[in-house]
Structure 1
Amino acid sequence: MRHSESLTKTLNMFVVVLLIPVVAVNAFTESSSKRVLEISERYMSPKTYLIFDPCNTNKPGNRTVSCAQLRRQGHNLTTQYNITPHDKFLVWCDMETDGGGWTVIQRRSKTEGGGTEFERSKKDYDDGFYNSHSSSYWIGNENIHALTTRPNSKQVLRIEMTRNTKEKIIVHYSTFQVGSKEDYYQLTIGGYLSPNGSDYDALKHQNGGRFVIADGSYHCDSCSRSRISGGWWFTIRGCMQSNLNGRKLNEVRPHTKGLGITWYKRGDSSSYQYVYESVEMKIRDADYGFCTGEMAK
């Protein structure tokens, strides 16, 4: 009898020992299940993140940052619009040329006349200026910097120059960027292309150049202040190869190399004296064709 009671106690202890791990496992499983549920609820809730917006269609506050964006929104009239890549300002948008969407950053109009309209101060060039009578203008270095350095904002540059002989020169650069004020609005340019041939790549000599005004603190061994005008990306190795902000001369003037609007044609020294009736510099998103579906046509 005693032996039977002892055996019963032993078996009961064994059952208790077996039950303890089972209870522990159940408790762990229940706790883990709740924890997994908490994690799932916390980290697997549906959320929407805008990781990449190459076409600049979703800007905070529905901001309009370029003429290319306006054109994609259905604006097709070539006129002035407000854009806000940083602070709001007024620009001319070319909505017709080569599919439209061009932000005009510089214009020398036919009605500007000869003179020194672009002989301006550093502040004028930084902030921008506009002549309401001739519609000639410079959009401003700060604005060009903002337009060419915003996220997903690689820009192409198109330059249209019309000589007084009615010859039209068009050049494209697939890379165009202007640095900050602290970097003296340093120019990055590349990827030349022109229907006029390979001899009009004048701006390549200004690649890496800082923006300087002719009447400012300027040092250049290859030219002097008396032979340049306006504000441009003047460089020591090619300070007179191009200057679209030079004086607008109405006739050929000998010995004025680099003084007027200048765009050097390789191998043609007479191109330094070309007289230009009008000039426009305009930029557009490099992926504009992709974003508008033009590439698929």
Structure 2
Amino acid sequence: MSRKQETDLMNVVRQIMDLDQQNRQQEARVTEAESKYSEINNRVEIMQLQTLQSATQTSSDAIYDCASLYTRNYRISGEYKLPKDDFLGTPELNVYCDMETKGGGWTVIQRRKIGLTSFNRDWKQYKQGFGSIRGDFWLGNEHIFRLTRQPTVLRIELEDWQGLRRFAEYGFFTVANELNSYKLFIANYTGNAGDSLRYHNNTNFSTMNKDNDKCVDDCAALRKGGYWYNCCTDSNLNGVFYRYGEHTRNSDGITWYGWHGSNYSLKKVEMKIRPVGFHP
């Protein structure tokens, strides 16, 4: 091969390499354009979903408690996960739903039945909630505040160590926000357990590290649990779990004065709420 032919061949090879590089650059530009298009398309889809979600959340179809689950045909009592709701300002939340009592739709906010979970907790723990949703637990004052921003019914179910049961129901129940110390407001009692929450109406929530009661004594420290203390109690559903009822040496048990007085610690307690306008 002559020198001229070698030179011509090298020029052809360089041209092919240049064309190949240009082709790769063009492919890269196409890929980048496709990626940007896909990103823009995804953003549009997300905005459409958010718009649709907001429209749903402003309607009666929004899922924010067990009553709304019931209306969506969830009729079995048990643990459910409520989705995060940016419109209502509620986080994702595991709840226990009672779908049977008086037509169902109840969101359980407190339970005592096993006795292995201490309720002598600080302010932050009572704010966020603690315990096992299938066992003993406190749902959390912040969650209770959010759930009671609509007209709400509170039902309290009690059981003693002989297996007898009583209940107290309040047709009006709401809890203020944290700035107002999760103050309790209740009214319209019905039931057969006696009205042992009336004394606690219009009282702030207190814990072992926040004394907000209306007494010289530190009621939360004396009763060993967070609660809406006055000076101090006609009931204490977050007291110490004592087995077999009588606890005459202590005044810090799970008490409901209207039924068994101040020296009897109950075996089981369940507090549950649902909207006033709920119809099964």
Q: Same fold (TM over 0.5)?
A: yes
Question: Can you give the 5+ residue segments of structure 1 that lack an aligned partner in the other structure?
Answer: 1-56, 293-297
* Native 8 Å contact 2:80 2:97 kept in 1: yes
The structure-2 alpha-carbon separation of the partners of 1:249 and 1:160, relative to structure 1 and needing over 3 Å to count, comes to: same
Superposition deviation, residue 241 in structure 1: 0.7
Evaluate the alpha carbon distance shift between residue 224 and residue 178 of structure 1 in structure 2; reply closer, same or farther with a 3 A threshold: closer
Quote how far apart the aligned CAs of 1:223 are: 6.9
- Displacement of 1:105 after TM fit? 0.3
1:171 aligns with 2:168: yes
1:221 is displaced (CA, Å) by 3.1
- AA at the equivalent of 1:120: R
1:60 Cα deviation after fit: 4.1
CA RMSD after TM alignment: 2.3
1:170 and 1:247 map into 2 onto residues whose CA distance is: 20
Check conservation: 1:214, 1:228, Cα contact below 8 A: no
Quick check: 2:175–2:183 contact (8 Å CA) kept in 1?
Answer: yes
The match for 1:245 is 238
Displacement of 1:215 after TM fit?
A: 4.6
Does the alignment pair 1:99 with 2:103?
yes
Amino acid across the alignment from 2:211: S
- The answer to whether structure 1 residue 279 and structure 2 residue 269 are counterparts is yes
Measured after TM superposition, the shift of residue 256 of structure 1 is 1.6
Report the TM-score when normalising by structure 2: 0.72
What is aligned with 2:148?
A: 148
CA distance in 1 between partners of 2:75 and 2:199 (Å): 35
Q: String of CA shifts for 1:94-145, please: whole Å, max 9, x gaps.
A: 0111100000000112x235xx61111110000001237x711100000000
Aligned residue pair count:
218
Q: Residues of 1 paired with 2:228 and 2:185: CA distance?
A: 10
Matched, 1:112 2:105: no
Indicate whether 1:232 and 2:235 are aligned. no
User: How much does 1:63 deviate?
Assistant: 3.6
Aligned AA (1:192) = Y
Structure 1 SS opposite 2:80 = strand
- Matched residues in 2 for 1:224 and 1:209: separation? 12
Aligned identity (percent) is 33
Q: 2:256 aligns with which of 242, 256, 263?
A: 263
Distance 1:71 1:186 in 2: 29
Task: Tell me how far apart the structure 2 counterparts of residues 192 and 281 of structure 1 sit (CA, whole Å).
Answer: 14
SS of corresponding position for 2:173: strand
Q: Give 2:181's match in structure 1, choosing from 184, 193, 218.
A: 184
Shift of 1:224: 5.0
Structure 1 position 216, deviation (Å):
3.4
Q: Is 280-289 or 59-68 further displaced after alignment?
A: 59-68
Larger Rg: 1
Residue number in structure 2 paired with 1:158: 155
Query: Which secondary structure does the structure 1 equivalent of 2:267 belong to?
Result: strand
Offset of residue 227 of structure 1: 3.1
